[in-house]
Amino acid sequence: MGGDATCSCGTVFELTATGSLKVLHAFLGGTDGAQNAGQAELGLVMIKGNLYGSASFGGVSGCDGNLGCGVLFRITPSGVETVLYRFTGQADGAFPQDLINDAVGNIYGATGGSYMQGNGGTLFKLDTTGTLTTLYTFPEGAKGTSPRWRLLRSEKGVFYGVAQFGGNTTTCSLGTVGCGVAFSVNAQGTERVLHTFGEQADDGEEPSAGLFDAAGNGYATTFYGGTVNSTCTLGCGVISREDAAGKYSVVYRFTGAADGFNPSGGLAEDSPGNIYGATLFGGSGNGVIYKITP
């Protein structure tokens, strides 16, 4: 949010080591892209000194009340924006998430869904010539819907991530939308469901972020599930782990007290193996930043 006074569609900024902030680009909400209130704050990647990112809205109209289907962009160190791709909401999907890149400058990411065609989202590649290729289209249902946040890509070209909805709908308190899945998609475009959320007591529901640590364990946070109380009627959220052998376990269940509730946003790991994240609510009222030790 913030930025241009007529839109408040978000900014890209630079913060120096001395605390000086400079706005590199303020989105105008049209063809250049926009972030919308209540939507994910998406990170950037740097390639050869330029910043690359995605805006969930803007670009081509026709999605979510004509707010636009989202764009991929590049911003130079001097703040010049170039729109690299505008999603249409057709087979290419809509509402792009965080990006990753490979050693030669190709960009990869996921879309949260195809607004016009009703599919469950896509995985895509944008090559160095600006050509976008859809690598996988989620079929909804048991294999997940609406992949979220940043993907992980292995040296063999296998993608790992979480989908916010889909999976098993019979045991999920969220009902027919499903509680989400953790997935992998190989270089041939074959998906494997690694875990279906909401299938066991106190399991998480609606994953919001994922991370693989240096030892190959996969972590995920879920917005709901886990401890249910008067503060969290659908559960306060959990942190779960699936080890390299495929064994799933809940690492931590938020209580809605001083530890916060409804974890949201990305995860980060430091060199000793501690994992860091944030909750949307709790603590003094507006969320907490937490650390989970190995």
Query: Which of helix, strand or coil describes residue 32?
Result: coil
Q: What range does the domain containing 291 cover? A: 138-294
Same domain? For 120 and 249 the reply is: no
Cα dihedral 31/109/138/10 (nearest 10): -40
**pLDDT for 170-186, tens place per residue?**
777 766 778 888 888 99
Same domain? For 162 and 278 the reply is: yes
Same domain? For 278 and 169 the reply is: yes
**pLDDT for 110-162, tens place per residue?**
998 766 555 789 999 999 999 999 999 998 788 888 888 778 888 888 898 88
The residue from 137, 157, 177 where one domain ends is: 137
Same domain? For 170 and 193 the reply is: yes
Looking at residue 107, what is its pLDDT?
94
- Please choose, from the candidates 49, 4, 51, the residue with its C-alpha nearest in 3D space to the C-alpha of residue 30: 4
Same domain? For 101 and 132 the reply is: yes
CB proximity list for 230: less than 8 A, separation 6 or greater? none
Which range, of 13-27, 212-226, 277-291, averages the lowest pLDDT? Answer: 13-27
Query: Which of helix, strand or coil describes residue 175?
Result: helix
Same domain? For 120 and 266 the reply is: no
CB proximity list for 285: less than 8 A, separation 6 or greater? none
CB proximity list for 244: less than 8 A, separation 6 or greater? 215, 216, 217
The residue from 102, 137, 172 where one domain ends is: 137
The residue from 137, 154, 170 where one domain ends is: 137
Cα dihedral 285/223/55/24 (nearest 10): 40
pLDDT category of residue 39 using cuts at 50, 70 and 90: very low
Same domain? For 51 and 81 the reply is: yes
Q: pTM value?
A: 0.82
Same domain? For 82 and 212 the reply is: no
**pLDDT for 214-257, tens place per residue?**
777 888 899 988 888 998 988 899 998 888 777 888 889 999 99
Q: Are the C-beta atoms of residues 115 and 88 closer than 8 Å to each other?
A: no
What CATH number is associated with residue 38?
A: 2.120.10.30
Same domain? For 54 and 196 the reply is: no
User: Which tokens in the block code for residue 180?
Assistant: 């989400």
Number of domains within the chain: 2
